[in-house]
Structure 1
Amino acid sequence: MICQHLKDAGDPAPVSRYEDGCPQCVEGGFTDWVHLRKCLTCGLVACCDSSPRRHMSRHHDETGHSVMRSFEPNETWRWCFEDDVLG
């Protein structure tokens, strides 16, 4: 089942390129992110929950932005933080 957040999610231009890695990790001098995710509300690119600093989950906690998607090549899945639903 797809939740309303996933149905309503846009897909803004990313605020960094894939090759750039997680901007918050890079700014802190880290290169150990695992995968990248993109916020579908604002376009922020950040690292996943398997990464040590979990920047995308932090972004959700700080902003309330509900939906992100994989920012990995050839992956199109999305995740709703509010409803814990994969879409």
Structure 2
Amino acid sequence: MSKHCTHVNQIQTVTPSATGCEECLAMGDRWVHLRECLICGHIGCCDSSKNKHATKHFQTTGHPIVRSFEPGEDWRWCYIDNTFI
């Protein structure tokens, strides 16, 4: 049986906070892929990036759902339910 996300009601219409990972841009660092928080619009780097800023944003804010911010990708992930939406 597939798992369902219980947090989709928290998704907002957001504006991306940056064109790249906010924290990496500020530190002059690089990232592998980008994720957008669907609660506030924060752009952070993925867990394949050394800084893992998208996950750190979730850990700090509790905002559970991100989407890929990569061109051509259209998926969402819930950190709490550990599942794709």
TM-score normalised according to structure 2 size: 0.89
Distance 1:47 1:36 in 2: 5
Compare 4-13 and 77-86 and name the one that shifted more: 4-13
Pair 2,9 (structure 1): closer, same or farther in 2 beyond 3 Å: farther
Gap regions ≥5 residues in structure 1 = none
TM-score normalised according to structure 1 size: 0.87
Gap regions ≥5 residues in structure 2 = none
Distance 1:71 1:42 in 2: 14
Asked if the contact 2:10/2:39 (under 8 Å) is kept, the reply is no
**Aligned-pair identity (%):** 45
Q: CA RMSD in A?
A: 1.3
Compare 6-15 and 33-42 and name the one that shifted more: 6-15
Size of the alignment, in residue pairs? 83
Match of 1:77 in 2: 75
